[in-house]
Amino acid sequence: MNLHEYQGKSILKSFGVATQEGIVADTPEEAVEAAKKLNEETGTDWWVIKAQIHAGGRGKGGGVKLAKSLDDVKRISGEIIGMQLITPQTPPEGKKVNKVLVAQDVYYPGDSEPSEFYMSVLLNRETGRNMIMYSTEGGMDIEAVAEETPHLIFTEEIDPKVGLQGFQARKIAFNLGLSGQAFKEMTKFVFALYKAYEGSDSEMFEINPVLKTSDDKIIAVDAKVTLDGNALFRHKDYAAMRDVTEEDPTEVEASEHDLNYVKLDGNVGCMVNGAGLAMATMDIIKLSGGDPANFLDVGGTADAARVEKAFRIILKDPNVKAILVNIFGGIVRCDRVAQGVIDAYKNIGDIDVPIIVRLQGTNAEEAKKLIDDSGLKVLSAVQLFEAADKVKEVLA
């Protein structure tokens, strides 16, 4: 589950990670109040106004701006709240900004130059262990760094038996070129960050940049936090941080019915049981000359109610020119799925796109007969290649 920057930072702070201070605001007026409060608490008299959306590259799209007065805060917040922010990580139409984070200015002048680093914590799937990935090249697109200067990216793997060790934190601080007070602060930062990662059951932390300030503090200026959705039962307070306005409304509706749906751009809808078979079905649509309009896994219980809901969700997409239902019945009997399809079809009434139903497994022949005898405009198939041929036919 993805979080907003302000939510991620609140989790980091709760584990003792030093972060850039900030207050979230829904309106320009709230932003001004937030700026005043920050001035009292931190002394900052410049502020950074940051759009809160679930995507990176916000600065490039005009979603992060510096305000040098309270008037600036009001004007800039007013521009950013409500805008469609387009970044390299958003869909082409961008994402609507509902909130801004008013944050303290941390690039103030001082005894030394500020410098920016990159740091993330994530699972190394190869080894089954967590690792800290870090780089001297902070504040930049890390994928570009990985491509152009891979020697500037370092990793430190954590042995689950003993956890993060002091020598590892020191190695990180040395590799980042730090010394003196900044070195000590960095080792503290790394320990707190890893503690936060484990304690919050996160899937990924990405802090870009981690800043060494001009007075040698180490702080997280941004925070991309992805929580492990499977661990939310241990963190009820985090579960409440889900922002459904960041998700596709149809996908949210589907998830409320335990349907795993992802909207795509193609013209052939599909409804399948099992994620792997669903992806394979999308592939076969493509190989048959179509483009998948969605991914939809109906799960193990493909009863009439769920099939009907799934049809309704697929049919919401005006691009859908045909629907392929591909169910491999194992424990679920195909004839019952077929009856579900027929009932759903009759309930919806006015389906005007061709539907191809491929049912294979237990009682597949009985299921085909049910479909064929139903009198509905539904094409039936048993083998997967037959279904592919039928898709070709209806698209021709």
Partner 1 sequence: MSVLVNKDSKVIVQGFTGSEGTFHAGQMIEYGTNVVGGVTPGKGGQTHLDRPVFNTVTEAVKEKGANVSIIFVPPAFAADAIMEAAEAGIQVIICITEGIPTKDMVAVKEYLSDKDVRLIGPNCPGVITADEAKIGIMPGFIFKKGRVGIVSKSGTLTYEAADQVVKAGLGISTAIGIGGDPIIGTTTKEAVELFMNDPETDAIVMIGEIGGSMEANAARWIKENGTKPVVGFIAGQTAPKGRKMGHAGAIVGGADDTAQAKMKIMEECGITVAKSPADIGKKVAEALSVNA
Residues lying near partner 1 in the complex (CB under 8 A) are found at 123, 125-126, 128-130, 159-161, 198, 201, 203, 228, 230-231, 233-234, 260, 262, 264, 272-287, 291-292, 295, 297, 328-331, 360-362, 383-385, 387-388
Beta strands in 159-267 (DSSP E): 202-212, 218-220, 224-227, 260-263
Give the up-direction half-sphere exposure of residue 221: CA atoms within 13 A in the CB hemisphere.
24
The sign of the torsion formed by the CA atoms of 110, 112, 115, 119 equals negative
The sign of the torsion formed by the CA atoms of 133, 137, 142, 146 equals negative
* Burial class (CB within 10 angstroms; exposed 0-12, middle 13-18, buried 19+) of 375: exposed
At its nearest, how many Å lie between partner 1 and the CB of residue 352?
25
* Axis crossing angle, helix 334-348 with helix 304-315, rounded to the nearest 10: 50
DSSP 118-176: EEEEEEETTTTEEEEEEES-TTS-HHHHHHH-GGGEEEEE--TTT-S-HHHHHHHHHHT
Annotated catalytic residue within 5, 6, 118, 238: 118
Phi-psi region of 180 (alpha: psi -120 to 50; beta: other; left: phi over 0): left
* Closest CB to partner 1 among residues 33, 157: 157
- CB neighbours of 157 closer than 8 A, spacing ≥ 6? 124, 127, 129, 130, 131
* Closest CB to partner 1 among residues 63, 290: 290
At its nearest, how many Å lie between partner 1 and the CB of residue 263?
10
At its nearest, how many Å lie between partner 1 and the CB of residue 56?
11
At its nearest, how many Å lie between partner 1 and the CB of residue 126?
7
Catalytic, 118? Answer: yes
Structure-block tokens of residue 169: 């934190």
Annotated catalytic residue within 137, 206, 251, 308: 206
At its nearest, how many Å lie between partner 1 and the CB of residue 161?
6
* Closest CB to partner 1 among residues 329, 354: 329
Contact, 63 vs 53, CB < 8 A? yes
* Closest CB to partner 1 among residues 158, 211: 158
What's the rounded Cα separation, in Å, for the pair 122 and 131? Answer: 6
What's the rounded Cα separation, in Å, for the pair 48 and 149? Answer: 30
* Closest CB to partner 1 among residues 262, 353: 262
* Closest CB to partner 1 among residues 279, 351: 279
Catalytic, 203? Answer: no
What's the rounded Cα separation, in Å, for the pair 396 and 390? Answer: 10
| Percentages of the chain per state (helix, strand, coil), in multiples of 5 | 40, 25, 35
At its nearest, how many Å lie between partner 1 and the CB of residue 331?
6
* Closest CB to partner 1 among residues 273, 380: 273
At its nearest, how many Å lie between partner 1 and the CB of residue 182?
31
Q: What residues are labeled active site?
A: 118, 206
